[in-house]
Amino acid sequence: MSRILQAWPCLAREEVHVWRAPLDLRRVGLARLRDLLSTEERALSLTFRFQWERDRFVAARGWLRLLLGRYLCAPPGGLRFVIRANGKPALAEPASEVRFNLALAGPLALMAVCEGREVGMAVEPVSEDASGPGARTRFTSVAGGAEPLPLAAERQDRALLEDRARREAYHRARGWPSPAEVRRGPAPPSALGEGGEAAWSFHAVDAGPGYTGALALEGTVRLVRHLDCDPRWLDGWPLD
């Protein structure tokens, strides 16, 4: 077994782990992750139109099972999930206080894992060319003239995307994944709490080039630890 997995990170109650996992894998690694999926998950993967969509779905669900299995010291293929009353997936077997959330960013899956508190994660794509066709331009008066400020526009657009990601992460943590709900639902409460709600904290997530990510966590947290899955873990040792 890989030396990395021999020293699997311990999940303390005061921290959350955010994993980045590659989705575009070699056929052997992808096949090994597919072997971890349930019959229902494999059937669901076939509903996607394109092969690359099916492969990324399989990889994301496989990585999720592999990670949770390591935290729980349980066979990844034997994990059972249920949909709770608020619409969020949760572990049914083995019983655990571990909570998780999964978001996709192009060729990456991002998975948040914590214990005993609700967690949500969201990713928004960022335009790579803020000055290209269709980009908005801001103007300000400089020395009697009008000067375009594309950088200011880019910063403002980025701020809007980050706010949207935080809002969606909060809704996902609460079990409200619908994009419509993100737009018309309540804004995330502050870390101090509002209207008698539990306090929430929000953290930026490195979602890779071209994306911005946010993490919403019930209560405050001492540490957000960022970790990367290594495709080499899929070579040559038992996954289940």
Distance CA 59, CA 36 (A): 10
- DSSP lists the bridge partners of residue 82 as 90
pLDDT value of position 239: 75
pLDDT value of position 208: 87
Distance CA 122, CA 103 (A): 6
pLDDT value of position 156: 75
pLDDT value of position 140: 37
Per-residue pLDDT of the chain (240 residues; tens, 9 = 90+): 444 455 688 898 889 999 999 999 999 999 999 999 999 999 999 999 999 999 999 999 999 999 999 999 999 999 999 888 667 888 888 888 999 999 999 999 999 999 989 999 999 888 654 333 333 333 333 444 444 555 566 677 778 888 888 989 998 998 875 555 555 555 566 544 555 555 889 999 999 888 999 999 998 888 999 999 999 889 866 776
pLDDT value of position 190: 57
pLDDT value of position 153: 65
Distance CA 15, CA 208 (A): 22
| CATH architecture, domain 15-234 | Alpha-Beta Complex (3.90)
Count Cβ neighbours within 10 Å for each residue of 53-72 and write b for 16 or more, e otherwise.
ebbbbbbbbbbbbbbbbebb
The ranges assigned to domains in the chain are 15-234
